[in-house]
Chains A and B, each alone.
Chain A
Amino acid sequence: MVRETPARTREGASMDEKELLRLFHEMVLIRRMEEESARLYQEGKIGGFLHLYIGQEAVASGIISARRPQDRVITAYRDHGAAIACGIPVRAVMAELLGKATGTSKGKGGSMHLADVQRNFWGGHAIVGAHLPLAAGMALADKYLGKDAVTICMFGDGATNIGYFHESLNLSMVWKLPVLWVCENNQYGMGTAVERASAVGEIRQKAEGYNMPNRRIQGMNVLEVRQAAEEALAAVRDNDCPFFLEVLTYRYRGHSMGDPERYRQSEEVQRWQQDDPIGIFRNYLLSEGLFPDEALSAEEAGVEQEVEQAIAFAEASADPPPEALYQDIYKEG
């Protein structure tokens, strides 16, 4: 297992107390929404595949909270965290998981295909690596149109072994595209450990191969991730050049709900859980005297209610109407 520096807390850049509490709320919301969706999956109310983000919350929250509104976010199929961090209401996410017409994608995408382009969240993409060239193209358009926008493209360690990754990193460097590449290294591509699939142990070395500025950070402390993201986004803007951020993290649950997890020991999971991103952040907020325990508990209780209401909303929502089957295949005709 890769541990470079011990997880530790420190003051994040440019954050007031309101923002700290908002981040705490968001991470708890992602966690609780997913725990409930696991239950709904087991009850048969969610179909298809369900890939949980539990354990990685500090990455989505830390990275995405550092963006400006014009900055795009695009990610892979483990997308619930990014969706909520982009500001999509949890009820729209839950409705999509239940396949309802009120879902983010009108019930046609499911868990792996959440999106809300009004909130600059461009999906939820389920072919490993395939959204990297899309990110390059969106950044090309923004640059061409003279917009001060960075495209934040998140993907797993597994995506860094596919051709798309290399074609996209290379092109982004040749064309100096405003992309922040974020590799969420959660140690496994499905059930295959990084060292069994990747010729280089530090994935950031692959960016090095394209002369791309890069950095490897711990991803369990949201404030550290946030600070690194602010610096990386500034680097993209200031230097007119893409940046590669490798974030070390861990998913507590299996690859998807149907994962027997033969590839790792429960002790390993437990070791990572000692550095739980929500636990670290909660302790920080308490120990720094920023919030009393009651304030955080009240926030957690608020999340419970929000998730409950989201499930009720999703369950009460209608299925897409039959005519939706043939809608949105083409714009014209």
Chain B
Amino acid sequence: MGLRRWLGILPFALLVIIYLVGSHLRLTDNPDDKILPSLAHMASTIDRLAFTADPRSGEYVMLNDTIASLRRLVMGIGASAIVGLLLGLNMGLFRGARGLLLPMTTFISIVPPLAILPVLFIVFGVDELAKVMLIFIGTFPLITRDIYYFVEAIPREQITKALTLNASPSQVVYRIVLPQVMPRLINTIRLSLGGGWLFLIAAEAIASTDGLGYRIFLVRRYLAMDVIIPYVLWITFLGFAFDWLLQSVMRWRYRWYEG
């Protein structure tokens, strides 16, 4: 491992050490302290939430929370990606679509999504739809505009060139433009996932009966840091895994894009 890798690990190690020392000091002072639980305590909590079925319902709490949250996130971001791709593509290709949609997309992108969360709850109810809609509204304007700018920047020469190679207008879209947009879309999704998580947890914190964000805000009342810290680390890991997954797709399918 190179020096750079070690340097990267250093802050993490420092953070863990500071935590452990702090936790040790507080727990020797007061064994019932909840703010900085010991590793053993957290391990037993993880075991209870993740690997032991709930005695009443027979379900695994952390697994259920994860599935519920990921479902909302994937639906919200997925809808954003599809709508953003379609709108962006049409805006980039057709002047009429641009005139019709660009001001509206810009407007929506500036409205703070969390400010209209109450509206979403009123309009879509407090069930799944409102949460998915929050993620959707929070992420699709950015994806739309990014795809639009990308399509618009494709040189006119490429279109002319395709026409001199016998391409029909629909072939220009499906064989020339769309394949070049796909890697860009994946990159935009990667950037949008951060916002997606933010909106997901916000929505779950306010009105939900399951989900990772719901759990964190539920146990906050009991100062249950032994639940909160593992959950936060788990969410971070999931975010990292998504990013890695999309990056792998890029490397596998779109080798030409990086160059």
A binds B: no
Give the A-binding residues of B (Cβ under 8 A): none
Give the B-binding residues of A (Cβ under 8 A): none
